[in-house]
Structure 1
């Protein structure tokens, strides 16, 4: 892949991803509502200032692109009107802009919150293709994005891979991260697998590392060549020191995929800084 468009290119997760996707002869086109700050180790990049809910801007941004990594949009709970406009309609604009420009490969950043109410008690093998069971308006917008991807895969033959991401961060932000963490290196491995797997069609894949306490199956990721190497368990002493002992299996706040998001008020900003 020689030219890749990353929406949300000025965001924190994109900053983790950009240097790890750098390759000789590869250019990353970064689209966001503000210019992306420089990141150490990044390769060739160009910047597009636009919003994902601007269809004409998205169509132009997709010109001469080999693949789109759609990470733009609202990353926390917000008013339903904003979720509809930015996340749901924005994902449509990204898909339709790519279709108009002839882009065949789409990687959509979905979320564990698309299935947040799924019970994880005693599970280590939750499949990636669970039906939508969102915990918030944010999670609902991610289900909508997945289904838009399904539509474009079925109707237009596009390759669409939806990543149900756990907690993509340098370190697990809390006890739930022992199960849901996605390390920066594994995040890049996952995206690279999505970029290079031949003819994937439509896929749902968990975006997590090889965590000892994971709830979710790695089989769907391995089927496209994603073999995570990191494990949140190495952060256990640090997490215990910061948060105390935590029982992932019996803590009522952690027994569902979405954790505490299952009880936050709908349509308001979440107080959590990570998914």
Structure 2
């Protein structure tokens, strides 16, 4: 009996020794992201500073073999931390497995966390975009749509140019009772702009808008700024139509006065 206990103690010590002798690594990733949003991955490790490792993203659709869609290389910082980001712009909306790549230089201990699952969700049905795809530049760009997101309340808009430069910051636009929303964002000039539509849970969808110069010699159609739902709009002041006839009326009055002075004779 004592021999059996002794053997168990020896085996346990060997197991602990094996775990301790291996390197440890662990990482965190969100359980889900909206399609098009990046997946931030942050981790820690006992690898020496400057050592490199890799993490592979596999598409893990039920009933199908995993398919590698991307991989990222990370470098261990002096404090043992590391991080990478996966871009999901071209990824299908399904499940993905993020898994550490094998590295013979750094065998891992059994306490390491070597994989995580992330769900990429298509939330675009939550927002129908009605923003005109092509607009004449009048100093602004009209943005509109209908939100079907259960979050309701507000839509968050972000506008950037083709270089990724932020144009308007994050704009909070109220959603009307029928789900509609509208806003007018100032833009610096003609060009292609990207619009991100989000709610409190994250990205809903994206859209691309082309702003073109007004045709030379032709009055450009006015892109009327639409206030956020619930705001009051002051109608543009226009010249009443009767005023357009004032010059002709004045000439008529002069003629009539002269005719009366001559006694009605011509």
Per the normalisation by structure 2, the TM-score is 0.23
Larger helix fraction of residues: 1
Larger relative contact order (Cα-Cα within 8 Å, sequence gap ≥ 6): 1
Per the normalisation by structure 1, the TM-score is 0.23
The structure with more radius of gyration: 2
Larger strand fraction of residues: 2
